[in-house]
Chain A
Amino acid sequence: MPRIYITSVFVGDQQKALAFYTDVLGFQKKMEIPLGEHAWLTVVSKEDPDGPQLLLEPDQHPAVGPYKEALAADGIPCASFAVDDLAAEHERLLGLGVRFTQDPLDMGTVKMAVLDDTFGNLIQLVELVE
C-alpha cells in the first residue's frame, strides 16, 4: 500500500522559505541535500519528526507562476496543515506579522483559516473539532 510521505509547496528562494517555515510556522528542517543550484530541502513537524515531510520545491518551471497566481487570486490554499488550537495559532502568527486572507471560520466539524506564506502560496490551517 502506498503511503503519503511527502508533499510540496513551490518557493522562489529556498533558504528564505526555510526560515519562514521553521522560525514562523514552527516546522523543523529534516533534509537538505544539495542538488546543483538548488537543494532537496524538507521540513517536518516537531511533534512528528518521522512523519510526512514538506518539500520546499524550487518554482523555476514556467508553469508554476501562473498556477500560483491563479490560486492565490481566488484565495485557494495549496497546502493544509493541522493545528490543535486554531484561535491560539492565529493569534500567535498575527503577532509574528503573518497575513491571513481568511480569519478562523467555524465550519462545524472543522475550523479553518488561510494564511499567506509570502512565497506565493496560501496555506490552510485546520483544527479538527472533536
Chain B
Amino acid sequence: MSFWEFVSDRWSRLLSESLLHVSAVVQCTILAAIVGVTVGIAVYRSPFGSAVATALTSAILTIPSFALLGLLIPVLGLGAPPTVAALVLYGLLPIVRNTIVGLAGVDGAVTDAARGIGMNRLGVLTRIELRLAWPAILAGMRVATQMLMGIAAIAAYARGPGLGVEIFAGLTRAGSANATNQAIAGTVGIVVLALILDGIFVLIGRYTTSRGLRGQ
C-alpha cells in the first residue's frame, strides 16, 4: 500500500487522532497559561520570586519528557491524567518567563499614571499591565504549543491520545506492511498541525494586540 492509499484508507481514524492531538495540546497550553500567568503575576514584583520561578520552571524543562512521563504513571495512572500533567508542566516555562518579562517591562510612568488617575490595583493589572504584557504572554504560549506538539507524541506511550499512537504502532509492528506508513503519518501529521497552529497564533496575535502596541 502506498502512503497515500494508506492515508485515504485510514482517513477518519487519522483525522480523529489529529483532533485529539491538537485538542490535548491546545487545552494544556491554555491550562499552562492560566497557571503560568498566575505564577508570573504572583512573583513579577519580587526579583527573588521571579528568579526562583524562572529557575524552577526551566529545571522542569530540563527533565527528559519520557522520564517525567514514567514518574507520573505510578502517581496518575495511564491515559489522559499523566499526559495533561506532563504537557502543562512543560508548557509552564516559556509562559512564566514571558509573563514576568512582559509585566516587568511595563513602563513605570504608565502604571504610575494609572494609579494616579484612580485605578485600583486590580484595574491596573487587568486593564493596563496584562494588556501591555499580552504580546509577550502570547509569544510564550506559541513557543509552548510548538514544544507540546512533540511531547504529546511521547504521551502515547502512557496510552495518551493523539498521533503518537500511530508512531508507536509503527514501532511495534516494525516489518509489517504499514509500519512505515503509520510512522510517517504520525510524524508528518504532527509537523503539519504544528505549522497550522503556529499560523493560528500569528492570526490571534494580530487580532488581539492593540494597534497601539504593534511595530514598537
* Chains A and B form a bound pair: no
Interface residues of B (CB under 8 A from A): none
